[in-house]
Structure 1
Amino acid sequence: MKTFGEGRGFIDEIVKKKKNSSSASVIVKADQRGLRDPGNKRSDHDIQYVKNFIDKFPAYESHYSRRHTNKKYLHQDLNMKILYKLYKDEYVKDNGEEGLPPVSITLFRSIFKTLNLKFKKPSNNTCKTCDSLTLQIKTCEDANEKQNLEEKKTIHQSKAESHYNSKREDKELSKQSD
């Protein structure tokens, strides 16, 4: 007992369990950690509420670098502090004072990061036509009109892509000849 630093009660308990069972594995209990959700875990409803709140803000895609990144940009006047304050105000208004408190800013920030958004103007400017069509698509409720707008946007972007390819080819051609 001194070698393993165990007391008489521990040894007696093991002997008792061993006598009652033929299997040696009964002595060691299965690990019970991680079987229950933590008490402070927020519901999926709260997390979805945050995502829906953030999605209300128009997000812009960079027109000139959309093939390099899929990041979207919120207006440069917003930041995490302002967005979180707006979220808290709306959450309290919707859920009243008696409900759960709003999510913490740490959880809010981690949810924001999963949405692949940034607070700034994109390093390359956005195209007004693309921005306008994106907002129209987002707010349009008629399915036919929405499809029409999406086709317009696709045509616009493919035209821009072909112009960039032409420009690239012209640059290469100019490097080869005098």
Structure 2
Amino acid sequence: MEDGCGRGCRYKCHINFNQQKREGIFHGFWKLSDTQRQWDFLATHVTEFEAKRASHAEKSSSRRQKSKEWTLPLDVNNVAVCKTFFLDTLNISEARVITAIKKKVSGISFTSGDVRERHHTRPTKNSIERDAVKAHIESFPTVESHYYRHSTQRRYLEADLSLQMMHRLYAEGRPNALSLTSYKTSFYSEYNIGFHKPKKDVCDFCSTHLQAIKVDPNINQEAYLQHRKGIDTIRQSKKSIKRRVRQTNDEAGATFDLEEVLPTPKSNESCLYYKRKLNTYNLTVFDFDDVQARNFVWNERQAKRGSNEIASCVYKYLLNKAAEGKRKVYLFSTPAQVKIEIRTF
């Protein structure tokens, strides 16, 4: 599912439909049993009519003759939305909507049947192939979210993968392989998995506010502005500490952060996509005084990546600094990932 329209949309799509409602519509659409029922849904919620207004260049052949009204279900009503929001919520192309409209039976909101699999001269795509699709999807190892692992059950595939690539791997050596559309339907309707896309780190407060403002652009921003002011204060303090530790011999400062999980080994060989890779973790500590990075690397067989492991790495770093004669150390981190609070020692 894509982001949809911007907050300036005249239909106020994000105000009428929050993320939870959008996900409900998305999963409901892809859980429809067959293509015909999906066409019925599209034909019911998209109405095509003659364009009401003509431009000053009325005779121009480029002027569109048809307009469409896009709606999505909200409680017991259908609420108008923009085209971008409609297509992004269902994660489909406009071509699929046009196909459904063409198949709409005149006068009622039901489409003609899908006859693509009803030729008696062709073998029917049976449940064996559908089970093969499920088995193939489940053969790819998944990982939890790096940024939101405590607040979501969604699992993620490697960022190098895509549905097109997965379908190509599935279809290799299968003369009766299902289409990409069928593969995609199974993927979206039966699994809560996605493809990992690296995102910029934000704290919980900022993340909550940025999501809320998508729903209500007029939300009170006083608390958020105060929060941002605090961030600016910390940044200025950080700059001041950087200058100070470079001028003294008994003080040090650093930032530390846990890198995104590193699946090991990393390769584009297709056979490795089906293997459960070893998760490797890397905590980087960057010194202000000597402008050097220290890396603490371990794998999932040795330890987890919780607060105890992070604290152990930081403790080791502090011991090394104490051996160098440092009496005070300033540490900065990202609470969004590391649930420990360490500032000065």
TM-score, L = length of structure 2: 0.25
Bigger Rg over Cα: 1
TM-score, L = length of structure 1: 0.44
- Structure with more contact order per residue of length (Cα contacts < 8 Å, sep ≥ 6): 1
Structure having the higher helix fraction is 1
